[in-house]
Amino acid sequence: MKLSSEKLGSVLEQIDAEVIPDDHPSLPKLRELFGDHTFFVDDSGLDQHRQTGGLVKIARWDDANPPHLVAHPPEQTDILIKLASVH
């Protein structure tokens, strides 16, 4: 799921992560593998937002110097995101 600007702002208020920007060189491969979604990266790796409001981890940082993201099968996390607008 590709998040709207409003929903994206709500998510970023709830989690400590950054959005992978549309011009990032890894985004075409991520979209090829997982579809057109909003992808988040944090200290533990790469997350993909699902419509259910949960986050799915799809990559981890390796031990290389500098570290690289290594894709792996989707892994459910216990992070839940409230997508509804707060008024």
d(CA 81, CA 11): 6
Per-residue pLDDT reduced to its tens digit, 11-27: 888 888 889 888 988 88
Is the pTM higher than 0.75? The answer reads no
Domain boundary assignment for the chain: 5-80
pLDDT at 47 over 70: no
- Residue 50 confidence class, pLDDT cut points 50, 70, 90: very low
Q: Are strands 54-61 and 69-80 parallel, antiparallel or unpaired?
A: antiparallel
**Secondary element (H or E) of residue 64:** none
Residue type, 8: L
Strand partners, 69: 61
